[in-house]
Chain A
């Protein structure tokens, strides 16, 4: 089934994360001005749009990191924007994985410790967590670098470590902000294959911010964020 032509989904079975009418300002700067988006369960959704248009802010609201000033965010039909800090933090830990745009690894920890972090935080035994981490590092093409401190990795290597960390807990939803931003074409493809494999194997839903159309082409469909609003375009013309 291709998801590209689906209309706005209201069925809670199909809708994984749903946001309506989000507004958020940083001081006097409006970052989101009435953004609505539905993420369908099991899909890879690409979030595109010009720099500064609000993509990262939208992603952070969908993931329960930022709270919008107004509007609603639902995960599996349940309001999450109104939850307190602690509850959102638990929700993120138990259901979501993250690959951030900037500075996300702990430089003093080794690559495999960084990858194992989400598992360690949710109480997995250390040996088991590190084993899972090594397995994922191999999958992103970094076997052998597990003991390297992450501050001593190249930009592209660090990004693959971050992706491995995002996937290690087999999250229901992976939120990824420019996950291939500092990778060359071949390594990007490798990483994207991993994402696609994760959606097939574990049913992971992926929300991925990217400005690169070749990366977006791995997604099932795309939305475009402009001036803090999200538009979903369908190839037949028109928007939803």
Chain B
């Protein structure tokens, strides 16, 4: 999800100051990668230029943060369209994993060794996400689960491929 879309979504709830947008973005979407204030204001400026948000009057007290931003009809339309579309369900069929296996076989390197190394790296990441899930709040747990299920899918593919390496080797070398 892009930052502009995320800000539009947050603004669709209610008009907000840049500071509030950053805080809510970080709370829900910014795990490990909080937004910089500079990026918030640059994005709001671009959205303003494109007619998707409107800044309110600068309130007494001054400073750039004292503008209350609101979403426009155009902005709402863009956000609603995005929200109702499914995301592309097709995983990348030429993953780096697959490409590495094919090259290892083609060049006579150890594809099994590569798959073992990859499997260890995947499990290590799964351990880290499991810790995050166990120690964190519900939002952390849901995000960690999403990562865990995807890594698990990769691992199943790795096991399956490891079991089929001899057959795949013949295909690649013939």
Contacts and interface: CB of A to CB of B under 8 A. Distances in A.
Nearest to A193: B134
A217 B117 contact: no
Contacts of B124: 4, 235
Contacts of A50: 159, 163
Contacts of B127: 4, 217-220
A118 to B, nearest CB: 28
Contacts of A193: 134
Contacts of B67: none
Given A50-B159, A50-B163, A193-B134, A213 B120 contact: no
Interface residues of A, number: 20
A218 B130 CA distance: 7
B124 to A, nearest CB: 4
A234 B118 CA distance: 10
A145 interface: no
Interface in A199-240: 213-214, 216-220, 222, 224, 231, 233-235, 237-239
Interface stretch (B32-40, B58-66, B86-94, B147-155): B147-155
A214 B152 contact: yes
B86 to A, nearest CB: 24
B129 A217 contact: yes
A231 B123 contact: no
B126 to A, nearest CB: 4
Contacts of A196: 134
Contact of B123 (A216, A237, A238): A216
Given A213-B151, A235-B120, A235-B124, 9 more contacts: A50-B159, A213-B126, A213-B152, A214-B126, A214-B148, A214-B149, A217-B148, A218-B127, A238-B117
Q: Return the 8 tightest CB-CB contacts between A and B, nearest first.
A: A217-B126, A233-B120, A235-B124, A217-B130, A237-B117, A213-B155, A235-B120, A217-B127
